[in-house]
Amino acid sequence: MRVLSGIQPTGNLHLGNYLGAIRNWVRMQDEMDSQSQCFFFLADMHSITVHEGREQRIRNVRDMAAALVAAGIDPDRSVLFNQARVPAHAELCWLLNGTARIGWLNRMTQFKDKAGKDREGASVGLFVYPVLQAADILAYNATHVPVGEDQKQHLELCRDIATKFNTDFGVDLFTLPAPIIPKETARIMSLRDGSAKMSKSDPSDMSRINLTDDDDMIMAKVRKAKSDQEMLPETAEGLAGRAEATNLVGIYAALAGITADAVCARFAGQGFGAFKPALGEVLVESLRPIRERFLQLRTDDDALDAILEKGAAKASAAAEPTLRAAYDAMGLMR
C-alpha cells in the first residue's frame, strides 16, 4: 500500500485543515505496516496558479512543513517533501498532457468555480492543474489517495488518464489509485458562516482558528463565533437546520473524540453562553502543544530545509523508475 496526499503551502494550518485532513494523515502514518509507505507533499508548484512573491512562497513552504511536523507527521516514518524539489512531477505532467483531453478538463467543476466569469483571464496552469495532480499521484504509483468531496472528480480524471496512457502505449505502467474517504473526517465550517468552509481565503480572521492563535485569541474567536438563541438538543438530530450550531458541536466532538450525540447529551438544555467557554477550553488544550511545537520549528530554516531535502531524495528515488518507464513507453530517448 502506497498512500499519497498533498496540501497547498499557505503558510499556516487552520483548524479546518487540521481536523479535515491532517489528523487523518497522522492516523494513516501511525497505522502503516512495514510494507506500506505514506508520501505527503507541499504542493508549491500548484501554488503558482496564484501570484505570490518569491520570499513569501519560500516562507509559506517552510512554515507549512513546520506545521505538519508539529501536528504529528514524522519525517522519519513518512516521506515529507515539497513538490518543486522533485522534477519528476513537472516532467510527468508534461508527458500526461499528451494523454489528457480538453473535454475532460472542461468538465472539472473546480476550475469553473475558481475561474468564475473571467475564464479567459484564468491562467493555463489553473486549467491543467488536475493533470499535475494526476502526475503527483501516478509518479509514485500510489495505490490510495485521501480525498474530500471536492477532489473526487480529480481522482477520477487521474484514473482516466492512467487508463488511456496504459492502453495507448500497450503497457501496464500506471496503477489506478483508489480513494480513501476517512469515516471520521470532520467538515469544519467558518465561525462566521455555517454554510461556508473554514478557509484562509476568507478576509475575516475571525472566521477561522489558526494553529498559531494564542489561548486568548482562540477564546475570543469562540466567544464571537456565530451561533443561535436556541438551547442545545438532547441528540444531534435536533440540530437540523442550525448550521452554526452544528458546526460548533462538530468541532467539540472532533477534538474531544466523541460523537455529536454525546456532546448534545452533555450540554442538553444549555445555551451557547455555557457551551462556548467549554468549546474554547477544548480548543486551547488541543492546539496549544501543536502551536508551541510549530513556533519552535519555524525558527530553524536549515532544519526545515534538511527535512524537505531528505524527503525529496526519497521521493525522487521512488518516482524515477516510473518516469523513466513513461519516457520509454512513448519512445522518448533521454
Q: Is 183 noted as a catalytic residue in this protein?
A: no
| Interatomic CA distance for residues 325 and 315, integer angstroms | 16
Q: Is 114 noted as a catalytic residue in this protein?
A: yes
Of 114, 164, 310, 314, catalytic: 114
Q: Is 200 noted as a catalytic residue in this protein?
A: yes
Helix (H, G, I), strand (E, B) or coil at 35: coil
Please list the residues that pair with 37 across neighbouring strands: 2
Torsion sign over Cα 291, 295, 301, 302: negative
Question: E strand or H helix at 166, and its extent?
Answer: helix 152-168
Of 117, 152, 164, 197, catalytic: 197
Of 112, 152, 200, 224, catalytic: 200
| Interatomic CA distance for residues 140 and 315, integer angstroms | 8
- Tell me the C-alpha to C-alpha distance, in Å, between residue 33 and each of 2, 36, 296: 11, 5, 30
| Interatomic CA distance for residues 269 and 238, integer angstroms | 12
Q: What share of the chain is helix, strand, coil (3-state, %, to 5)?
A: 60, 10, 35
Helix (H, G, I), strand (E, B) or coil at 94: helix
Q: For 234-287, give the DSSP string.
A: SSGGGGTT-HHHHHHHHHHHHHHTS-HHHHHHHHTT--HHHHHHHHHHHHHHHH
| Interatomic CA distance for residues 178 and 218, integer angstroms | 37
Point out the residues that are catalytic: 114, 197, 200
